[in-house]
């Protein structure tokens, strides 16, 4: 735990009387892949919502330590500020902009990098704006090719299968070049045979971007196969964390998650 | 104190009127999740029917198609109370027909909030026009002997006499409130509605039939509307058909305060609003009617904005997140209303789901569609040519271009940004005022007053949108309706009608103006086209489809919406400046809320997502009605354009949400419409191939080893 990029310190959140998150504390090491496992309702997605700013925790701190920058407490930042801090996430049900062809989606998500394309510059089509558009289009194309969807750039999400949507979403987060990548169940909705191909793809994307990946996943072989550290959650709290093999054998994990008595 | 006491009866009765409306709105919303903007129009329809029945009037009947009623009318004359069961039966039938014909296709297709809002607004236009067509366009004047309760004084409060009629309406509210309370506490259906309002999916799993609930709630809602309409028509003595449409806005204000689900809070808010308005009228307006004109409407606006800004928790209990945002829930794909409205392929699927499959087997659809495309293309080509052929076309064409700008402003705001705002008429007025200031007060030469009008609209739009930026869906629609109403009543009448703009000599012919307007419109369209193809347009689409996802990628919803509101306001204002140069002044008609709603309807029919939409809309709803006007019998004021227009709106939303503009696209993309979505099968193949694809960064080749 020498070099932590993301540190969660006693994060808590309650919905009315339900404690969705209780005192969640763990560190995410820079450049690692951290898997989060846990039964439904364990608070995994809520935790992602807190990190990405969709929900505000009642207590605790979520500290991001960018390379060569001062630490930032994400709790006090607005949702859209994450992007420029290098944090990107995918959603459980592969949510993208539903009416836009995926090629355009991949250009849309690069919104922030287009520094020469303010309102008037875009409308007037200045040289800077045109250059921005060209770069963005090129990167979008590259990212689609990276996940193998290059031929489908003109199709809106409604014409893609769930699995292809997952890939498109991965391309969308990859194209913004984040330093911390939060993936919410990237394998859900894809067939078993294909999840086997997903692991290497995630590792490849992580290596490409030189990014840290935090991944929520129910598919045990996948998450155990790619993670350096696995965090097991249950009813809003952290049960245990450590290398996959250790977590796999942890009695409470076996009981509360895998369902088999130790 | 005596004086304050004297304002109570008036205020409470006004409040009771709003409360009657608010209760009906909450009732329907609770059971069906549909905000019924047509509620006031339904009430008016029943009221006109009722008093028509009593009097046996035949006014306007020769134009109507309701032959059955014509016969009934000729032979039967009923007293007030004898007519009540007949009228309420008619109300029940009206509710049934509306649910079956208009609402059900949208419920079945799980249409999103934005679509529901536009549908019921269209229904309001339709019913209002039908009322005027069937029962005559005149005001409904209820004579003393036909009043619901005697108009003689019952007792006095604070030196002000309270008539039996006013007292009776208060009593009626109390009775209805009690019945509603009993209904929701003690009846199976009431409990089912409450269960369904809490969680529709669990309720339907437990055997609550949502279809039955919808029928029950529309029928009973319509009866309550009828009672309210009959009582109100009597109370306000004369009511023109659009009055209750506007009162609906106040009912909505109260209902929104109650989170669209709470009867007590809604009724309380309505009574409070009524009292507040009475005090404003009594203590301010009566002192200086000119200075304080529109003050009650400003109060409504303040109340709506204030409550929504404070955001007490209960406000959001009734409106589920996904409805409020159009974002959360319902799975990732196609969760946006307008998203579907824009994509013809998606629209096609929606259509198939909404109607019996047999309907689509008819091969003739292809020819209908082709014919429609030919007509649209021909009309678009004809547009610039017509005024050259004959000066007869020039004036209508000029007005149509100004209309097209309002439609274009809706395309940007509703179609691209996904925000239903109904205050565009106010921006037309602002544009006109800006042009008048530029030309007359500042004495600027020609093109500059136009810029003045457009430039004035930008800060106004920013100011107006500030409270609106945090609102979405229904809240935004009601807030902007309240703003539109306040602007219509409080701001627009203040513009000096004599402050007319005189165009420079060379521009003082319709033909010269035609070219000027056409060029200005071309610039506006060009700017919009640039917006739609660049970063700005993409950020609009992102916000429209999902604010949460957009924010996750660093797009700031508030900033993007602010830009959209300003662009849209500026375009509507451009239309206003055109009207000013054509007519001398904008006039109150074009600046009204009613006109804004009608324009939105036109924009949707023509194509809310497309730049071609405004042109088509201007032709269909601006130019052609003007041209045919002369041929229709001059003496009969016809509401058929509004009737067909609003019926077309509802039909279009159900069948082809992309509007006429998308039909042309549809023909082109027909092949892909029949393609099944790509299956999962080739996914593993895709992933395998993905290593072979061009790498993002050519230099980093490390990954190929990892993958195998």
The pLDDT score that the predictor gives to residue B535 is 92
Structure-token pair, residue B672: 């892909």
Tell me which residue in B542, B548, B690 faces A148 most closely, judged by beta carbons. Answer: B690
What is the β-pairing status of strands B153-157 and B160-163?
antiparallel
Q: Which pair of tokens denotes residue A201?
A: 């793809």
Q: What's the gap in Å between the CA of B578 and the closest CA on chain A?
A: 23
pLDDT in tens, B534-587: 999 999 988 888 888 888 898 998 899 999 999 999 999 999 999 999 988 877
Q: In B, which residues are within 8 Å of A109 by CB distance?
A: 553
Residue numbers of B between 658 and 697 with CB closer than 8 Å to A: 672, 675, 677-680, 683-684, 686-691, 693-697
* pLDDT for the residue numbered B662: 60
Burial environment of residue B404 by CB neighbours within 10 A (0 to 12, 13 to 18, 19 or more): buried
Q: Which of B336, B534, B677 sits opposite A99 (nearest CB)?
A: B336
Q: What is the mean pLDDT of each run of 10 residues along chain B (708 residues)?
A: 77 86 86 87 88 64 44 59 87 92 79 81 88 73 74 77 82 85 84 77 77 86 87 69 75 87 87 90 80 84 82 56 33 34 48 58 70 72 71 84 92 87 89 89 88 93 80 83 86 73 84 90 94 92 85 90 94 94 82 86 82 80 67 55 79 68 48 38 48 34 32
Q: Using CB atoms, which residue from B334, B530, B703 is nearest to A98?
A: B334
Q: Does A39 touch chain B (CB under 8 A)?
A: no
Best CA proximity match to B278, nearest among B501, B42, B15, B658: B15
- Supply A250's token pair: 């942890």
Residue found under tokens 């409130």: B177
Write the pLDDT tens digit of every residue in A66-78.
888 889 999 888 8
pLDDT of residue B561: 92
Q: Report pLDDT for B670.
A: 38
Q: Where are the alpha helices (DSSP H) in A94-243?
A: 102-108, 119-124, 127-146, 162-175, 192-209, 220-226
| A–B CB contacts, 8 A cutoff, strictly below | 222
Contact by Cβ (8 Å): B643, B333: no
CB contact, 8 Å: A80 with chain B? yes
**Nearest Cα residue to B564 out of B487, B462, B471, B463:** B462
For residue B179, give both structure tokens: 């019945």
Which tokens belong to B403? Answer: 């209309």
Question: In this predicted complex, what is the ipTM?
Answer: 0.89
Cβ-based neighbour number of residue B138 at 10 Å: 13
Nearest to B366 by CA among B675, B661, B667: B667
What pLDDT is stored for residue B666 in this prediction?
44
For residue A95, the chain B residue with the least C-alpha distance is: B332
* A191 contact residues in B (CB cutoff 8 A): 680, 683-684
Main-chain dihedrals φ then ψ at residue B162, nearest 5 degrees: -110, 125
User: The tokens of B125 are what?
Assistant: 């236009």
User: B385, B404, B346: which is closest to B545 by C-alpha?
Assistant: B346
Helix or strand (DSSP H, E) at A72? strand A72-73
Tell me if B231 sits within 8 A of B148, measured CB to CB: yes
Percent with pLDDT over 70 in chain A: 97
From first CA to last CA, the distance across chain A in angstroms is 29
pLDDT of amino acid A147: 84
The mean of the pLDDT values for chain A is: 87
Tell me how close the Cα of A123 comes to any Cα of chain B, in angstroms.
Answer: 5
The token pair that represents B599 in the structure block: 């324009």
Instruction: Determine whether the interchain pair B683/A164 forms a contact, defined as Cβ–Cβ distance below 8 Å.
Output: yes
Is the CB of residue A54 less than 8 Å from the CB of residue A78? no
Chain A CA closest to residue B537? A108
Residue A15, φ and ψ in degrees, nearest 5: -105, 105
* Measured distance CA(B217)–CA(B197) in Å, rounded: 12
Contact A129 B707 (CB under 8 A): no
Tokens of B404: 């097209």
Tell me how far CA of residue B434 lies from CA of B218, B515, B575, B704, in angstroms. Answer: 45, 22, 12, 63
Contact B526, A109 (CB under 8 A): no
Strand A87-89 and strand A180-184: the pairing is: parallel
As a whole number of angstroms, the distance between CA B123 and CA B475 comes to 19
Structure tokens at A99: 């009416």
Is B417 within 8 Å of B437 (Cβ atoms)? Answer: no
DSSP letters, B444-496, are: --THHHHHHHHHHHHHHHHHHHHHHTT--HHHHHHHHHHHHHHIIIIIGGGS-
A148/B693 Cβ within 8 A: yes
Q: Least CB-CB distance to A161: which of B557, B679, B696?
A: B679
A9 CA: distance to closest CA in chain B (Å): 22
Is any Cβ of chain A less than 8 angstroms from the Cβ of B549?
Answer: yes
Q: In sequence order, what DSSP letters do the residues of B419-437 get, joined into one string?
A: -----HHHHHHHHHHHHHI
Q: What percent of chain B has pLDDT over 70?
A: 75
Q: Select from B10, B25, B461, B9 the least CA-distant residue to B250.
A: B25
Are B587 and B431 contacting, i.e. CB atoms less than 8 angstroms apart? no
Q: What is the pLDDT of residue B315?
A: 57
Enclosing H/E stretch for B124: helix B113-135
Q: What is the pLDDT of residue B335?
A: 34
Q: For position A1, what pLDDT does the model report?
A: 46
Q: Is B503 helix (H, G, I), strand (E, B) or coil?
A: coil
β-partners of residue A18 are: A15
How far apart are alpha carbons B617 and B601 in whole angstroms? 10
Q: Are the C-beta atoms of residues B329 and B117 closer than 8 Å to each other?
A: no
pLDDT single digits (tens) A178-193: 999 999 988 887 877 7
Q: Is A79 in the B-facing interface, judged by CB distances under 8 Å?
A: yes
pLDDT at A55 over 50: yes
For residue A62, the SS3 value is: strand
Alpha helix (H) ranges present in A157-250? 162-175, 192-209, 220-226, 244-249
CA A207 to chain centre: 15
What is the pTM (predicted TM-score) of this model? Answer: 0.83
| Residues near A109 by beta carbon (within 8 Å), at least 6 away in sequence | A172, A173, A175, A176, B553
């Amino acid at each position: 735990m020498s070099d932590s990029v993301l540190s969660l310190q006693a994060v808590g959140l309650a919905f009315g009387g339900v404690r969705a998150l209780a005192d969640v504390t763990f560190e995410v090491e820079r450049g690692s892949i951290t898997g989060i496992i846990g039964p439904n309702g364990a608070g995994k997605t809520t935790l992602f919502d807190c990190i990405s700013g969709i929900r505000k925790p009642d207590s605790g701190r979520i500290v991001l330590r960018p390379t060569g920058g001062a630490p930032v407490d994400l709790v006090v930042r607005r949702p859209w500020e994450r992007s420029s801090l290098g944090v990107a996430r995918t959603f459980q049900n592969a949510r993208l902009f539903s009416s836009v062809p995926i090629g355009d989606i991949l250009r849309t998500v690069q919104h922030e990098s287009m520094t020469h394309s303010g309102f008037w510059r875009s409308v007037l089509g200045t040289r800077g704006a045109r250059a921005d558009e060209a770069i963005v289009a090129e990167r979008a194309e590259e990212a689609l090719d990276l996940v193998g969807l290059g031929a489908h750039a003109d199709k809106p999400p409604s014409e893609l299968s769930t699995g292809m949507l997952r890939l498109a979403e991965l391309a969308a987060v990859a194209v913004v070049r984040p330093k911390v990548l939060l993936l919410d169940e990237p394998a859900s909705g894809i067939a078993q045979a294909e999840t086997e191909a997903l692991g290497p793809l995630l590792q490849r994307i992580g290596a490409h971007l030189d990014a840290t990946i935090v991944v929520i996943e129910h598919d045990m072989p996948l998450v155990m196969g790619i993670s350096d550290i696995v965090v097991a959650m249950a009813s809003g709290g952290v049960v245990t964390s450590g290398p996959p093999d250790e977590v796999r054998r942890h009695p409470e994990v076996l009981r509360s998650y895998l369902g088999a008595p130790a | 104190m005596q004086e304050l006491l004297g304002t109570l009866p008036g205020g409470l009765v006004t409040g009771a009127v709003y409360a009657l409306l608010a209760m009906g709105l909450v009732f329907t919303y609770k059971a069906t999740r549909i905000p019924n903007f047509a509620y006031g129009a339904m009430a008016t329809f029943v009221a006109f029917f009722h008093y028509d029945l009593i009097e046996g009037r035949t006014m306007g009947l020769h134009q109507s198609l309701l032959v059955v009623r014509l016969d009934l009318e000729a032979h039967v004359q009923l007293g007030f109370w004898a007519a009540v069961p007949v009228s309420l039966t008619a109300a029940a039938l009206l509710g049934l027909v509306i649910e079956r014909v208009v609402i059900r296709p949208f419920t079945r297709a799980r249409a999103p909030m934005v679509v529901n809002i536009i549908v019921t607004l269209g229904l309001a236009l339709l019913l209002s026009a039908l009322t005027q067509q069937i029962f005559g366009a005149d005001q409904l004047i209820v004579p003393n002997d036909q009043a619901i309760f005697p108009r003689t004084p019952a007792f006095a409060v604070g030196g002000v006499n309270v008539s039996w009629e006013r007292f009776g309406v208060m009593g009626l509210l109390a009775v209805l409130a009690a019945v509603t309370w009993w209904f929701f506490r003690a009846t199976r259906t009431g409990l089912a509605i409450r269960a369904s309002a809490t969680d529709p999916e669990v309720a339907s799993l437990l055997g609550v039939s949502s279809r039955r609930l919808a029928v029950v709630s529309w029928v009973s809602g319509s009866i309550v509307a009828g009672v309210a309409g009959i009582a109100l028509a009597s109370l306000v003595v004369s009511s023109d058909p659009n009055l209750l449409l506007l009162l609906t806005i106040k009912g909505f204000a109260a209902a929104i305060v109650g989170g669209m689900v709470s009867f007590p809070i809604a009724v309380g808010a309505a009574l409070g609003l009524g009292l507040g308005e009475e005090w404003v009228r009594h203590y301010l307006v009566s002192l200086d009617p000119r200075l304080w004109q529109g003050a009650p409407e400003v109060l409504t606006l303040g109340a709506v904005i204030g409550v929504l800004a404070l955001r007490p928790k209960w406000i959001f209990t009734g409106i589920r997140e996904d409805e409020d945002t159009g974002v959360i829930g319902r799975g990732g794909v196609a969760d946006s209303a307008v998203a579907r409205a824009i994509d013809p392929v998606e629209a096609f699927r929606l259509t198939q789901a909404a109607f019996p499959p047999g309907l689509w087997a008819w091969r003739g659809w292809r020819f209908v569609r082709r014919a429609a495309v030919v007509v649209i293309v021909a009309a678009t080509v004809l547009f610039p040519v017509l005024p050259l052929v004959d000066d007869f076309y020039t004036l209508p064409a000029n007005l149509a271009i100004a209309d097209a700008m309002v439609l274009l402003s809706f395309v940007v705001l509703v179609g691209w940004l996904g925000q239903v705002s109904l205050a565009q008429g106010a921006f037309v007025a602002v544009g006109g005022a800006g042009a008048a200031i530029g030309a007359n007060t500042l004495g600027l030469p020609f093109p500059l007053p136009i810029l003045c009008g457009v430039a004035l609209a930008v800060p106004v739009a920013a100011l107006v949108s500030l409270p609106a930026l945090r609102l979405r869906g229904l809240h935004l629609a009601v807030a902007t309706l309240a703003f539109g109403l306040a602007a219509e009543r409080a701001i627009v009448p203040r513009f000096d009608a004599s402050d007319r703009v005189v165009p420079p000599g060379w521009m003082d012919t319709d033909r010269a103006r035609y070219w000027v307007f056409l060029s200005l419109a071309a610039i506006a369209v060009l700017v919009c086209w640039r917006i739609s193809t660049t970063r700005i347009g993409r950020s609009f689409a992102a916000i429209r489809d999902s604010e949460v996802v957009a924010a996750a990628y660093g797009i700031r919803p508030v900033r993007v919406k602010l830009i959209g509101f300003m662009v849209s306001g500026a375009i509507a204002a451009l239309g206003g400046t055109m009207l000013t140069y054509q007519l001398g002044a904008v006039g109150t008609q074009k600046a009204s809320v009613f006109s804004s709603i009608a324009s939105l309807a036109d924009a949707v029919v023509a194509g809310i997502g497309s730049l071609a939409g405004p042109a088509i809309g201007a032709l269909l709803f601006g130019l052609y009605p003007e041209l045919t006007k002369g041929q229709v019998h001059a003496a009969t004021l016809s509401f058929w354009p509004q009737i067909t227009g609003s019926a077309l709106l509802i039909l279009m939303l159900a069948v082809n949400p992309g509007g006429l503009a998308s039909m042309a696209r549809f023909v082109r993309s027909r092949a892909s419409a029949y393609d099944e979505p790509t299956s999962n099968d080739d996914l593993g193949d895709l992933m395998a191939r993905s290593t072979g694809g061009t790498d993002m960064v050519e230099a980093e080749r490390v990954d190929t080893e990892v993958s195998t």
